[in-house]
Structure 1
Amino acid sequence: MRICIYGAGAIGGYMGAKLARAGAEVALVARGPHLAAMRSKGLTLLEEGADPVTVPVRAAEDPADLGPQDYVIVTLKAHSVPAVVPAMQPLLGPATTVVSAVNGVPWWYFHGVEGPLAGTRLASVDPGDVQWTGIGPARVLGCVVYPAAEIAESGVVRHIEGNRFSLGEPDGSKSERALRLAEALTAAGLKAPVRPRIRDEIWVKLWGNLSFNPISALTHATLDVLCTDPGTRAVARGMMVEAQAIAEALGVKFPIDVDRRIDGGAAVGAHRTSMLQDLDAGRPMEIDALVTAVQELGRLTGHPTPTIDTVQALVALRARTAGLYGTAR
């Protein structure tokens, strides 16, 4: 089984190191100093309570150097994916599965569903249908990413917490391709349940990302603060209530209520969200997949999103002012 991880940063590097250590045939697509370090020294994984482990990995900047794969696991941020679809083509053989390990509303959301929205394409996350036509929804296996990791230095990934990558077919089936990948990830010491309702998990994670991320970018507050301050908690709650109405109109079932979800965010502690980290580091901000896409789904389902609209307008202007919105398109 040939597995390529496209975008071997923190999460992709963590997964790649675990797979490589378990003996899987894995290749990583990366760039810059991180790529150079992996090529010259291997990929080092730091896990709490364990000695550092360095594994040799096959790493490349040009996917054409790797050839067709059985699985391509995309761990880029959503706004970066459309631009790399042309470069990804040499990895795609007739039976290649593309695993969408990307935060937010996925571009393939309406593939494999029934009803009037079946096959609907989302311009907010797939402008020009680049992924729909260049990858194809039939190739896609959904994935919800739970681990947290960071690049400690070039070629070195530090695992912070979590080891679950939930998998799910868009049509809810337990396919052979999903089970085979779950087996490989499990053999690498990761949790990889195959879920019949992957969209439910997508929305529970999105619930927090939709609200906590942009509010933190606007206020520079950590999770414990924005989830307990009465004003910002109320804004987050308003966004989440609007999102819940949209999701439930699409058939999603939430296993917890809004307030428990916010309390869970507060319990994480003084965490700086990924959007705030991107703003501070001068990286393009992940607004469309986390916020704008929910607005688009609101329009499709006929559910108003006044709180989401307000926060999206503010965070989009903040990102544009910093030159960090739309720059990756």
Structure 2
Amino acid sequence: MMRITVVGAGWTGGLYGGVLARAGQEVGFLARGAHLQAIRSHGLQIRSADFGTFTVDAPASDDPADLGQADLVIFAVKMYDLELAAQALEVVLAPDGRVLTLQNGLEAPDHIARIVGPERVLIGTTALETTILEPGVIGHVSPGHVVTIAAYNGPPTDVVQHIAVTVREAGINTHIAGSGRQALWDKACMLIPIATVTSVCRTSVGQVRDVPEARAVVEKVLAELVAVALADGYDVSAARERAISMWGSLPAAWKTSMMRDFERGNRTELEWLTGALVRLADKYAVEAPVSRAIYGVLKLRQALEGAVAAPAGAAAAGG
């Protein structure tokens, strides 16, 4: 049995933590607010086409000290909560434990490596859509799921293999990547262009897909991302083709998480998605005029509507 702590029990963290708990792993959840209270009172309920509907009773707290030290920390907070939530790692991570980062964007593993050391970081990516249907209830609302796990540096280690087997045996579709950085860039191809354009248009993927001129904007952002990735040392041409195919097959009503956050007036991951692309374009002197223009418009929209990208001053570990 593996001791696992989920930092950020909403959305993705809640889903995968719940599935691992059902499989018999020793899982605890670091959460906050109404979501925490509901988990404590009624357990964590999962509703998923892939995993079914079930409830797990597992320890949950907003105090890392209550959960003990973990062999594996699934670090699943949004990027804007990362710095504050990472403070919990000093308490919940066992001396020989590992942190699996599951954030969007390209930068989370480096942030965590500076805190716990690169040898204790695993790079993870995931592709699915989840939401908190109500406090204590996680909905997995996209068709399918996948988790990719890689070492922070170098090829897969025995630890990577062991953790991947544990996750896979719980019924989670799990792949091992030869390069964590490649995996991050591959996911960026899938996410950043469509998230950027649907957010600025305030619309679903189907509506963008149905307008050739709008679809061309997505493909232009993708082309800029491919150029920046190549400047960073990663060939994402295969991921580019997969991204175009995936966008064509998504349900018409599907919305990216960043677009939904803009729609709801929530904090967004703009700085770590489109913003990161623009910063890396500057670093490598790669022209990215379309991404830069949309980033500027979204920054203004965010400022005018009062949404903030910086972490909130409240507790950082919840869903």
CA–CA separation in structure 2 for the residues paired with 1:186 and 1:308 = 37
Displacement, 1:104? 0.7
Deviations 1:68-115 (A, max 9, x none): 211111111112101222233211332221111101112445xxxxxx
Secondary structure of the residue aligned to 1:52 is: strand
* Cα shift at 1:263: 4.3
The structure-2 alpha-carbon separation of the partners of 1:318 and 1:91, relative to structure 1 and needing over 3 Å to count, comes to same
Kept in 2: contact 1:225–1:266 (CA 8 A): no
- Could you tell me which residue of structure 2 aligns to residue 121 of structure 1? none
Aligned equivalent of 1:192: 174
In the TM superposition, residue 254 of structure 1 has moved relative to its aligned partner by: 2.4
Distance 1:171 1:223, change over 3 A: same
Correspondence for 1:183: 165
Q: 1:270 to 1:28 in 2, by over 3 A?
A: same
TM-score in terms of structure 1 length: 0.87
In the aligned structure 2, how far is the partner of 1:217 from the partner of 1:4?
Answer: 32
Find the counterpart in structure 2 of residue 320 from structure 1.
303
Give the SS at the match of 2:9. Answer: coil
The amino acid of 1:314's aligned partner reads: V
Say if 2:78 is the partner of 1:65: no
Change (3 A) 1:300 1:243: same
The worse-fitting range, judged by mean Cα deviation, of 50-59 and 317-326 is: 50-59
Tell whether 2:215 aligns with 1:233.
Answer: yes
Does the aligned pair in 1 maintain the 2:15–2:140 contact within 8 Å? yes
Structure 1 alignment gaps of length 5 or more: 110-125
On the 8 A contact 1:103/1:290 being kept in 2, the answer is yes
Q: Give the 3 Å change call, closer, same or farther, for CA 165–49 of structure 1 in structure 2.
A: closer
Are residue 154 (structure 1) and residue 155 (structure 2) matched?
no
The two structures, once aligned, show a CA RMSD in angstroms of: 2.0
1:143 corresponds, among 106, 124, 127, to: 124
1:305 paired residue number: 288
Q: Deviations over 1:116-158 (max 9, x none)?
A: xxxxxxxxxx5xxxx4532333321000111222222221122
Q: Secondary structure at the match of 1:256?
A: helix
Alpha-carbon distance change, 2 to 50 in structure 1, aligned in 2, over 3 angstroms: closer
Aligned to 1:47: 48
Aligned-pair identity in percent equals: 28
Cα deviation digits, residues 154-184 of structure 1 (max 9, x gap) = 2112222323211011223221221121111
Cα offset for 1:261?
A: 2.5
Q: Which has the higher contact order (CA 8 A, sep 6+)?
A: 2
Structure 1 residue 291, shift from structure 2 partner: 1.2
Q: Deviations over 1:276-298 (max 9, x none)?
A: 21122221011111111112222
Corresponding residue number in structure 2 for 1:114:
none
Amino acid in the other structure paired with 1:326: A
Task: Evaluate the alpha carbon distance shift between residue 49 and residue 25 of structure 1 in structure 2; reply closer, same or farther with a 3 A threshold.
Answer: closer
Q: Quick one: distance in 2 between partners of 1:51 and 1:327?
A: 35
Contact 2:128 2:144 in 1 (8 A): yes
Equivalent residue, structure 1, for 2:156: 174
Q: Which residue of 270, 273, 276 maps to 2:259?
A: 276
Equivalent residue number for residue 22 of structure 1: 23
Equivalence for 1:286: 269
Q: Work out whether residues 224 and 267 of structure 1, in 8 Å CA contact, stay in contact via their aligned partners in 2.
A: no
Asked whether the equivalents of residues 106 and 276 of structure 2 are also in contact (C-alpha less than 8 Å), the reply is yes
Report the equivalent of 1:36.
Answer: 37
Say if 2:153 and 2:180, in contact at 8 Å, map to a contact too. no
Distance of 1:236 and 1:29 partners within structure 2: 37
Q: How many Å apart are 1:228 and its aligned residue?
A: 3.4
Q: Is the 8 A contact 2:155 2:178 kept in 1?
A: yes
Amino acid at match of 2:19: K
Provide TM-score, normalisation by structure 2: 0.90
Contact kept? 1:2, 1:71, Cα under 8 Å: yes
Which piece of structure 1 moves more, 190-199 or 14-23? 190-199
Q: Please give the alpha-carbon distance, in whole angstroms, between the structure 2 residues aligned to 1:173 and 1:324.
A: 40
Secondary structure in structure 2 of the residue aligned to 1:193: strand
User: Where does the alignment leave 5 or more consecutive residues of structure 2 unmatched?
Assistant: 313-319
Q: Look up the SS of the partner of 1:143 in the other structure.
A: strand
Counterpart-to-counterpart distance in 2, 1:204 and 1:94: 31
Aligned match for 2:225, one of 225, 228, 243: 243
- Opposite residue 45 of structure 2, the aligned amino acid is T
Separation in 2 of the partners of 1:264 and 1:187?
27
